[in-house]
Amino acid sequence: MSIEWTDTDPATGQKRFVRAEKFARRWRFLVRFRRRTDWDRSVVPTREMWETLLDALERRYRRREGVTDEDLAAVRKALAAAKPDPGFDGDQANRGGVDQTNHRGTEAQSRQEEHN
């Protein structure tokens, strides 16, 4: 099974063609920037790519186009394990890109105030 779509490359902003192929119960992503060129197989799938694939599979599942429950479960599992895409957090810019809180939140800040 293979599913194709177009999107924008996050690094360059260029239009690219993306293909997701399932073979031997494993999904592989391929990318190319021009038609009639070789597919690049060394693609690390992003969270957005997994989400697009899941959306396409869910639409095909409703129409009974060869998508199984196993396909949906495998992609949902991979999506849950995928790291979130790095995004911009406006608050990070105010602190120079360094997160000053730890897993305890404000507790670390109150300890700093006690030592001063």
Q: What is the pLDDT of residues 56-74, one digit of tens each?
A: 999 998 888 889 899 999 9
pLDDT digits (tens, 9 = 90+) for 80-108: 988 776 665 554 444 444 444 444 444 44
Q: Which residues of 8-29 are buried (b: 16+ CB within 10 A; e: fewer)?
A: eeeeeeeebbbebebeeeebeb
Work out the percent of the chain whose per-residue pLDDT is above 90.
55
Distance CA 17, CA 34 (A): 7
Distances (CA, A) of 97 to 100, 101, 104: 9, 12, 19
pLDDT digits (tens, 9 = 90+) for 31-54: 999 999 999 999 999 999 999 999
Tokens of 89: 């957090």
What is the Cα Rg of the chain in Å? Answer: 20
